[in-house]
Chains A and B, each alone.
Chain A
Amino acid sequence: MLQTLRFRFLLGAVILCISVVQIFRKSFHPAFLEKPAEADVLHPPVIREYQPKYCDNVYQLFCQKRGVSQDPTGFVHPDIDGEMQALKIYKDIIRQHRDWNVEQIDEELVHQIFNPKRREQVLTAARWVKRQIENFISRQPRSVFNAQEKRQILSRIRKTELELPPPISLYADEPDLFTRNEVYYQRTLDGKMRLRVGGAFLLIAKSWFNLVFTLAHEWAHSIDPCEIRSAHLSFPAYDRLTACLLQRGLIISHKTRSECQENDQLSETFADWIAVQITADALASFSTEFQTDQIINAARNSVRDLCEQDEDIEIDTLSYPAPRVRIEGIFGNNPHIRHLLGCTLPKKEPSYCTFESKTTGSL
């Protein structure tokens, strides 16, 4: 009797453990996200006869619905929501501590916003993204990058640091970032390469895929063609990719365009292009777990915040391609993304730019 009870107890415990593990796997857990290298998980794009209607207008699929959007790993809110939330926290602290100085208030603000859980979420995504970009460069064939070129690119990726408070002194030269919605790459005057994350971003970026795309885009700036040029380096593979992006209209080629100068879109298009490869890895690693609509929601959340862009402002640098170009042309045309969305490849071949692209005709 006692043995039967013990057996039932053990069996129950095993079933419970399996269930917990299953639930845990499907939740937002770093171990689950640390999937095998992208080469193992990306399937070769399949050319299909038929495709869902949304494949003809990925921009509309992703951007038509406004407001909050959800995928199995979390939400993406409009930018302004994060700023409003951060602002409320800031104002509450000021009102509750009238006798505090600006530093004390910032200290408490950082304590409340950059809490261990939110920091860990960003740090986990950043580690994953950094490794995936390194893998992406490392696996390029010799015809793309020779050994020295790879070393030079990988060195820049590795030297780039993610700075995430506390302490508040980390952003001493940019205290307004504590309530901003930005993640951005910077090369300082003394050559330090860093990524910084605004507090409002931590409050609203809950989707793994949005974190991946955003961080990958920013990390890619450390190796974008303009940063490479300012380091007095040049790579033929970059020139081929640039020529292709120009030919496809993914970089606006206006009469006064001067490469890497004000208003040139090369840096941003390149950063998007890298981020799409990394996001495809992230989506592919979940493709067996997610149903089609979940994959679509995850893909949408990757680039959801690109849907809106304020273009009519005096200091606009025009350095970002239009939202439709970024979402439809760079993200939605990527063969792996299209495969994951259940879409056929565009008819024109070769349709998507790579480091090996050959351009046709004059630019």
Chain B
Amino acid sequence: MIKLFIYAFCLPLQAGQINSSIEIQYALGRDHYRFVATSQNSSIVANTFLNRQVLDTGPIDSNRYPLFLKRVSDFISQIKKDPIPRPPCRSPFRITVKIGSEIHIASGCRSTNGGELSKLVRDGEFLLYSKNECEQK
């Protein structure tokens, strides 16, 4: 009974949902990091990389993914609407969001935007690392 409840609660995105992906690339010091989340055919998978070596990979919470996708998309819109003139940047980043056939890209500097990039990365990683019972199956 409990298992059934968990299964129902953790049902993946509804059929017919548009495929989407989020990619956050950023440099910190001489290291390059990448967070990728892909929603395709009702499954959502995320990966984190350090210098192209995989740090972690796995499914993420389908209930929380849409909100995360929206936050990242809003951040891209904000950067595009209000680009901050930046000095030479020590820690550049680039974000790419694909929703269906639409592609949105924005780039910037980590030290601007009030740390929003870092918070997004942290939240994305939390989605991946906090896999619950349903994703563990």
A residues with a Cβ closer than 8 A to B are 79-80, 83-84, 87, 90-91, 94, 98, 102, 105, 172-177, 179-189, 198, 226, 230, 260-262, 264, 267, 306, 308-310, 313-317, 319-320
Contacts and interface: CB of A to CB of B under 8 A. Distances in A.
Contacts of B74: none
B89 A262 contact: yes
16 contacts: A79-B50, A83-B50, A87-B56, A174-B118, A175-B122, A180-B31, A184-B29, A184-B91, A186-B90, A187-B111, A188-B111, A189-B112, A310-B32, A315-B107, A317-B90, A320-B30
B88 A264 contact: yes
Contacts of B53: 80
A315 B32 contact: yes
A315 B93 contact: yes
A148 B89 CA distance: 29
B37 to A, nearest CB: 15
B87 A230 contact: yes
Interface in B17-47: 25-33
B114 A173 contact: yes
B77 interface: no
A315 B114 contact: no
B81 interface: no
A199 to B, nearest CB: 12
A260 B88 contact: yes
Contacts of A267: 90
B51 interface: yes
Contacts of B92: 315, 317
A226 B90 CA distance: 11
A315 B121 contact: no
A173 B115 CA distance: 5
Given A83-B50, A315-B92, 8 more contacts: A80-B50, A80-B53, A80-B55, A176-B119, A180-B33, A184-B91, A185-B90, A267-B90
